[in-house]
Amino acid sequence: MKYHLVTLGCQMNQSDSERVKRVLDGMGAQWTEDEHEANIIGILACSVRQKAIDKVYSKIAAWNKRKASQNLITFISGCILPADKQKFLTLFDIVFAMRELPQFPQMLSHYGITTPAGLVSDNLNPKDEINFFWKVKPKYNSSFEAFIPIQNGCDKFCSFCAVPYTRGREVSRPSSEIVDEVKSLVEKGYRSITLLGQNVNSYGLDKKGNEISFAQLLEQIGQIGETTAHRFWVYFTSPHPRDMGRDVIEVIARYKCLAKQIHLPIQSGDDKVLIKMNRKHSVKKYRETVSAIRELIPQATLFTDIIVGFSGETDEQFQNTRQVLKEFEYNMAYIAMYSKRPGAASYAWPDDVDLKVKKERLAILSADLAEVSGRYNAQLLGKEVSVLVRDTDRKQGYLSAQTEGKITVRFASEDKSLIGRIVTVKITSTTNFSVEGELVEVNEMAG
């Protein structure tokens, strides 16, 4: 019995896929890269983006055709809106919420798949399902990079976002489990660890004083780095500007293993648009947070998310977004054209910015980003930087790596044994979004 899993969407879905794989492995199924060899095949979907949903329909249409000549069980989970779920119930054999993963073996047993004793967990209280899910040990997709969920769901209800309707309200994972998973990964030699949540800096607030804060969680993780010679970087995504306190920034500044890279979504540089988006933060509040980052962690890189063409966005409001992009000098911005999502509040509003205008604004902001990012990269010229080697590069004879601040670096080498290690590279040339260098040193203590 072989299985294949298609994972769409964000890093949270990527992390969830590692637990799905662990459950299937525990049932005796074997992973295959070739979906045509699989007897069990599924998708972790993402209702947040229409393109991802379109891909789901394309995949299931092909799989259902295969059923005419092959025994095949199909399933779907992930971030799924109720409207999408109703449609999928008629297309897939099994549809389940990710928190129901402990019941997945029992679901498969109805199709004649033998389930070893101990894998099935019946009669779980719905409130306990997500906690039981977190206890499923992930089958990590990488030997040097790992993603750790620290919470599920979101309470912010941004008017453009479907996440509260796909994942529910915020639930924080026990901090002891998170810290233990970090310790285990460090002991196994992992170099990059990312804490995941829809709004990580509201971590613990749902526990009403019975759990530590996000800053305190980072403090405990930071102390792990102080007691080991093993070098690793801990990231988190994504925080919400309203909840991003100075205490979090101070902890990051204090501990070497807490990566000096901040992803802080702004979405728009106009206060009226932010109010309409129900973002609950102003440009002024965002500016204060960025000022604290620049003060306490001057070496930190800054990433963000921006939506162009949101319902009713005027040319003047777009220009305000251009201004903040230049002011905050982002190293990277993930810029998306607004699209309606069923379930989100803005779905009922007119999508009144012409597609041509959205594309123009996307192009303009991308050019602005290239300019400010390019200036930062240019000042790296001639410097020696530590990088985590991630893979072979598209350029023949080169390896691809990232700095602690997630700036992409390529350097000449065909030594694949360096992948997953931290090495020193001297920067010899730069572009707007990446830099190139030459290998200087492989430090066994550091890398």
Residue 418 vs residues 97, 154, 422, 434: alpha-carbon distances, Å: 39, 39, 8, 20
- Looking at the chain, the domain(s) classified CATH 2.40.50.140 span 384-441
| Average pLDDT of span 308-315 | 98
C-alpha to C-alpha distance for 371 and 442, rounded to whole angstroms: 32
The tens digit of pLDDT for each residue in 317-376 reads: 999 999 999 999 999 999 999 988 887 899 999 999 999 999 999 999 999 999 999 999
Give pLDDT tens digits for 29-68. 999 999 999 999 999 998 777 788 889 999 999 999 999 8
For the stretch 211-230, pLDDT in tens is 999 999 999 999 999 999 88
Q: Give the C-alpha separation, 38 to 26, whole Å.
A: 16
Check pLDDT > 50 for residue 147: yes
pLDDT band at 442 (very low <50, low <70, confident <90, very high): confident
Note the pLDDT of residue 109: 83
Query: Residue 127: its pLDDT value, please?
Result: 52
- CA dist 358 and 71 (Å) reads 45
User: Is the pLDDT at 118 greater than 60, yes or no?
Assistant: no
| Range(s) within the chain of domains with CATH label 3.80.30.20 | 129-378
Integer angstrom CA distances of residue 406 from 132, 253, 286, 311: 33, 17, 22, 32
Query: Which carries the bigger pLDDT value, residue 316 or residue 54?
Result: 316
CATH number of 384-441: 2.40.50.140
Classified by CATH at the fold level, domain 2-128 comes out as: Rossmann fold (3.40.50)
Q: Where in the chain is the domain with CATH 3.40.50.12160?
A: 2-128
Least confident range of 21-25, 165-169, 354-358, 385-389: 165-169
Q: Which two tokens stand for residue 92?
A: 């897939």
Separation CA 52–CA 131 (nearest Å): 27
For domain 129-378, say whether CATH 3.40.50.620 is its number. Answer: no
Measure CA 375 to chain center.
26
**Per-residue CA distances from 81 to 74, 125, 179, 338 (Å):** 19, 22, 32, 18
Residues 6+ apart with CB under 8 A from 12: 79, 147, 149, 196, 197, 198
Q: Which residues of 71-94 are buried (b: 16+ CB within 10 A; e: fewer)?
A: eebbbbbbbbbeebbeebeebbbb
- Give per-residue pLDDT as tens, 190-204: 999 999 998 999 999
Taking the mean position of all CA atoms in its chain, how far away is CA 43?
A: 17
Q: In sequence order, which residues have a C-beta less than 8 Å from that of residue 409 and are 6 or more positions away?
A: 385, 387, 400, 401, 402, 403, 425, 427, 434, 435, 436, 437
CB 191 within 8 A of CB 233: yes
**Are the CB atoms for 261 and 301 separated by under 8 Å?**
yes
Tokens 């070497």 found at:
256
What's the number of CA atoms in the CB half-sphere (13 Å) around residue 56?
A: 30
Residue, of 382 and 343, whose pLDDT is higher: 382
Residue 282 in contact with residue 274, Cβ under 8 Å? yes
CA angle 391, 392, 393 (to 5 degrees): 115
Q: Please answer whether residues 310 and 277 qualify as being in contact, where contact means their C-beta atoms are separated by less than 8 angstroms.
A: yes
